[in-house]
Amino acid sequence: APPPPPPPLMGGKLAPAHNGIKLKKFHWKNIDLHFLNESIWKETPDQSVKLSDDDVKQLEALFSIQKAKTPTSETPHPNKQNAESICLVGVTRSRNIEIVLRGLSRALQHCGQIQHESHVQGEEDHKPDLSQNFPTFVHIVEQMDPDSVLSVEDCESLLRCLPVAADIKSLKKYEKMTKELDGKAPNITAGDQWLLYSMQHAPLMYERLTILSHMHTFPDTVRETRRMIQIHAEAQKQLLQCETLKKVLLLVREVGCVLNRGQMEGMFQGFILESLGKMRELRSTGRKHYCLLQLIWDWALERDIPIKNLLQELSSVSQASEISHELIDKQVQAVCSTARCVQSISEETLQLPQVAQFRASVMEQVEECVKFAGDTKSEYQLCMQHFAQKFSDGESLFEWVAAFLTALRDVTQQKCCKTR
């Protein structure tokens, strides 16, 4: 007799949807049919594992695919962002604006400047309505209180949330559409609503947010600029007044003339400070671990030249080597940019007492800072002339001396180790 046919495959065909309900898929991996007859799957399931109609209904309740909600016939709230909302300025820009405003709302709630945001009526789990806080945002900016909740980051973020030319073009088209449709134009996103609301306040808000940002950053900028200039000025003063450095350089020149005898003899007068770093590279023939710098150290001490004191006498030079003149120039430009900003303040904004006070303070400090920077540059020129450095070499003057001091510090540590 021929062998019995294989049992029918479970789930060989897609089961029709029960009552039109679609269920989520269980993405299992099928077995190889060659192993079916030798497996557990050959057995016919008994009644204990079969599903009843109640079981199927429970599965449908737990794992059904929900249909997309269709818009209700009721009139939507003007601030409600649903599937029918349109975006005027681009999805990304509108979403970024909404993120900034919601973050600002939370900050204002925390300090009690606004009440908790109310939700759109009938939408308890919907995002809070932002539009009710728009007047508060504008009011805080227009008051220009530097001690308000607005940080410099908030000011910069809000500046990016003000309408630009491309936004205004789209917003005006929407306003025209609203008038033509008697106020029944499509809903717009929260970001678009803010741009539409702030459009009439934009020029004043832009000016005051910019000034608020300067109010936050100017004190630190001036303080850092003065610190940098002061370090340079102190380093230059130390280099010009350090007699120990002068004696060490003259000693190095005498040693160098002997080592380089026969090369332009009688014409050698001095060397650029970059050459100081090469003393560590010149090793002794008989003592490989002994270099020219160590010889200068020993001979200086024998001649009562306090070379050990150089690290203390030139303490500001290492700090100055980490601050380039380009960096100081950028800091001074940042200070001057605040001066240009306050010089162009409108009369309306200048009526605020804190703004008038800030403007006077800025002009005074900028003038002082620019003069300090100019005087320090002039002294730097004298410093370069003192060491016979070319102008192109001037930027590295501090770096060369700092490298020399670092090498001296290493020699000092080696000497201390040998003494122990």
Q: What is the pLDDT of residues 196-251, one digit of tens each?
A: 999 988 899 999 999 999 999 999 999 999 999 999 999 999 999 999 999 998 89
Q: Cβ of 345: how many Cβ atoms within 10 Å?
A: 19
Q: What is the pLDDT of residue 122?
A: 42
The three-class DSSP label of residue 303 is: coil
- Could you tell me the pLDDT band of residue 268, with boundaries at 50, 70 and 90? low
Statement: residue 364 has pLDDT above 70: yes
Q: What is the pLDDT of residue 39?
A: 61
**CA dihedral sign of residues 276, 277, 280, 284:** negative
Structural contact between residues 321 and 402, judged by C-beta atoms closer than 8 angstroms: yes
Q: What is the pLDDT of residue 26?
A: 61
Between 56 and 74, where is the model more confident?
A: 56
- H/E stretch holding 258 reads helix 243-259
Spatial CB neighbours of 18, under 8 Å, sequence gap ≥ 6: 56, 60
Q: What is the pLDDT of residue 120?
A: 44
User: Token pair of 79, please?
Assistant: 């601030």
Statement: residue 129 has pLDDT above 70: yes
CA distance 218 to 224: 10
Statement: residue 88 has pLDDT above 50: yes
Spatial CB neighbours of 79, under 8 Å, sequence gap ≥ 6: 120, 129, 130, 131, 187, 190, 193
Residues in the chain: 420
Using CB atoms within 10 Å of the CB of residue 282, give its burial: 0 to 12 exposed, 13 to 18 middle, 19+ buried.
exposed
Structural contact between residues 81 and 127, judged by C-beta atoms closer than 8 angstroms: yes
**Span 338-343, mean pLDDT?**
93
Between 290 and 47, where is the model more confident?
A: 290
Between 399 and 118, where is the model more confident?
A: 399
Mean pLDDT, the chain, rounded, equals 79
Between 27 and 271, where is the model more confident?
A: 271
Q: Which of 68-77, 265-274, 320-329 has the highest mean pLDDT?
A: 320-329
Q: What is the pLDDT of residue 10?
A: 46
Q: What is the pLDDT of residue 78?
A: 42
Asked whether the whole model's pTM tops 0.95, one would answer no
Q: Which range, of 69-83, 92-106, 240-254, averages the lowest pLDDT?
A: 69-83
Q: What is the pLDDT of residue 180?
A: 80
Q: Which range, of 81-95, 161-175, 180-194, 371-385, averages the lowest pLDDT?
A: 81-95
Strand partners, 21: 18
Instruction: HSE, CB side, 13 Å, CA atoms: give it for residue 5.
Output: 3
**Span 254-259, mean pLDDT?**
83
Q: What percent of the chain has pLDDT over 90?
A: 36
Q: What is the pLDDT of residue 385?
A: 83
